[in-house]
């Protein structure tokens, strides 16, 4: 899958490249973004981005590109994970990217998906609900960027729920 590029109406999802590191570092390096992610440090250095890119755990990790600019990252490893830089919020880009990646995931015969969102993150909640994810449990997790425990809503998506939402 790592050689595949997924295209939507407005986005390109492509394998990450080391040349993405400065943009990734800049976009995720704001507390407005990093505070919503469990394992992302704040501040986020260029070396953090370089390590993240070089240590790709699966072929299902993509840079989200909008009009030639790096906008964020979306991936599936043990769960669906994603983030967008703040300049790209509130345009439906993440829902569009997630529909494309999750659709490809199920089209290739993969299993059900897990994900989650910090309870205070209404945007992420909206993305997952639009995909058909269902709430499973609420728990506390440590947010590295916030340096504290936060409430996390775990979510699950079955192939049947995906098909019901996507037709």
Domain coordinates in residue numbering, the chain:
6-166
The enclosing H or E element of 15 equals strand 12-15
Span of 16-30, 52-66, 79-93, 147-161 with lowest mean pLDDT: 52-66
For residues 164 and 142, give the distance between their C-alpha atoms in angstroms, rounded to a whole number: 34
DSSP for 151-162 reads EEEEEEE-HHHH
pLDDT at 59: 74
70-77: average pLDDT: 95
pLDDT at 4: 86
Contact 29, 145 (CB under 8 A): no
40-52: average pLDDT: 96
pLDDT at 167: 62
Confidence of residue 2 (pLDDT cuts 50, 70, 90): very low
pLDDT exceeds 70 at position 66: yes
What is the share, in percent, of the chain residues with pLDDT greater than 90? 87
DSSP for 38-62 reads SS--SS--HHHHHHHHHS--SS-EE
Residue found by looking up tokens 């830089």 in the block = 85
CATH class of 6-166: alpha beta
pLDDT exceeds 60 at position 28: yes
Contact 74, 97 (CB under 8 A): yes
Residue found by looking up tokens 């979306």 in the block = 74
pLDDT at 55: 83
The enclosing H or E element of 128 equals helix 122-131
pLDDT at 56: 67
Question: Exposed e or buried b for every residue in 98-119, given b needs 16+ CB within 10 A?
Answer: bbbbbebbbeeeeeebebbbbe
pLDDT at 78: 81
> Rounded mean pLDDT of the chain?
94
């Amino acid at each position: 899958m790592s050689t595949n590029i997924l295209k939507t109406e407005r986005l390109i999802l492509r394998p990450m490249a080391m040349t993405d590191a400065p943009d990734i570092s800049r976009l995720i390096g704001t507390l407005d973004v990093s505070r919503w992610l469990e394992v992302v440090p704040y501040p986020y250095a260029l070396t953090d981005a370089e390590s993240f890119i070089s240590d790709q755990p699966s072929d299902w990790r993509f840079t989200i590109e909008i009009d030639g600019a790096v906008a964020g990252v979306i991936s599936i490893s043990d769960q669906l994970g994603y983030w967008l830089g703040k300049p790209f919020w509130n345009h439906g880009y993440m829902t569009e990217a997630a529909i494309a990646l999750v659709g490809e995931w199920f089209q290739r015969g993969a299993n059900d998906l897990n994900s989650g969102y910090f309870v205070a993150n209404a945007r992420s909640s909206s993305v997952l609900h639009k995909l058909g994810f269902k709430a499973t449990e609420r728990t506390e997790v440590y947010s590295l960027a916030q340096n504290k425990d936060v409430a996390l809503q775990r979510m699950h998506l079955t192939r049947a729920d995906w098909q019901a939402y996507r037709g």
